[in-house]
Amino acid sequence: MKALERLETIRDPLEELLGFELRRTSVAVSNAFAAAVEPLGLRTSEATLLIFIAANEGCTQSDIARALRAQPANLVPLIQKLVQTGVLARAPADKRAVSLLLTKQGAELAKQVNQAAAKHEARIARRLSPETRTQVMKALRMICKDACCEDS
Amino acid sequence: MKALERLETIRDPLEELLGFELRRTSVAVSNAFAAAVEPLGLRTSEATLLIFIAANEGCTQSDIARALRAQPANLVPLIQKLVQTGVLARAPADKRAVSLLLTKQGAELAKQVNQAAAKHEARIARRLSPETRTQVMKALRMICKDACCEDS
DNA sequence: TATTGTTATACTCTATAACTATA
DNA sequence: TATAGTTATAGAGTATAACAATA
């Protein structure tokens, strides 16, 4: 039946590695977030943008790109869509920069996004004590910094 | 100078959210891992595959797909490349399943990948105590489970 | 010179549908 | 009927180069 003995037991060496566990968890959490904002007709990137702009009304695309570590070029179609659907409005800041504002409809949508995000946050952290959550956040920031930088 | 008052201060509401901090950290760590295996001529997915197969010699593509939560279709070109470059060898397991084995060259490469992964792991966790690392791993698994499942 | 916003483009990753051959 | 492997393809995310207008 078997030309070569099939493996009876599969083990997963990846689940002992922090890097991969981080990635898997991130994927699962991102999928859950996407599902949470999908009823609002938004993708993850659009919902993220709304949360950011709601907290920084009047910011520009380059503000967003810097803060969210995104490529400015990739924000263009995203913001165009949100302007066309009446969620965002542009107002000239100076002759080259453009301030982004929420329309009345956009403010309502942003509120719903924030509610969905809060519910999602509560869900993914529901088995973590506040202290553990704080410690995990702190650890994540350290890991992120140590992964990014080159040196000692 | 300003048609609309520009924001002086940008704040980032995302960095208080566990979900987004998870994503950012995961992206940074993934990039660092990609850079770590790039000198070996491997992408993240290929290096991951080698780590897994080295720990499970004789496994099949569907074993891999299940364990790594990947689509079987996406493994095909990946494994084809590794076979063509002499890293993997196929051996019939039964008339439809195929066992995957490391060639001599593949075993050497897998060893280097595991070394690079270990170094990468040490780097990203270098400011975490062993106890904190363990706690973070445990928290990540809980978060992952709570994000995936639907219910209570 | 550097910055803001933009276009076009390319590449990777991921997802699905459909097929074959085998169990 | 379900499983193993495959093909083809489509979508989303992300990256860069190059440009015009402005600081």
Task: Give per-residue pLDDT as tens, B99-139.
Answer: 999 999 999 999 999 999 999 999 999 999 999 999 999 99
Tens of pLDDT, residue by residue over A13-32, are 999 999 999 999 999 999 99
For residue A151, pLDDT over 90 is answered with no
What secondary structure letter does DSSP report for B43? Answer: -
- Asked whether residue A73, judged by its CB, lies under 7 Å from any atom of the DNA or RNA strand C, the reply is yes
For residue B76, pLDDT over 70 is answered with yes
For residue A8, pLDDT over 90 is answered with no
- Enter the tokens of residue A15: 């689940």
Q: Which of B69, B39, B80 is nearest to A14 (CA)?
A: B69
71-90 of A, contacting B, C-beta below 8 A: none
| Structure-token match 């040196």, residue found | A151
C-alpha–C-alpha distance, residues B20 and B26, integer Å: 10
Q: What percent of chain B has pLDDT over 90?
A: 88
Q: How many CB pairs under 8 A join A and B?
A: 224
Tens of pLDDT, residue by residue over B16-72, are 999 999 999 999 999 999 999 999 999 999 999 999 999 999 999 999 999 999 999
CA atoms within 13 Å, Cβ hemisphere of B92: 6
CB contact under 8 A, A14 and B52: yes
One-letter amino acid for residue A84 of the chain? Q
Q: What is the mean pLDDT of residues B89-104?
A: 94
- Asked whether residue B6, judged by its CB, lies under 7 Å from any atom of the DNA or RNA strand C, the reply is no
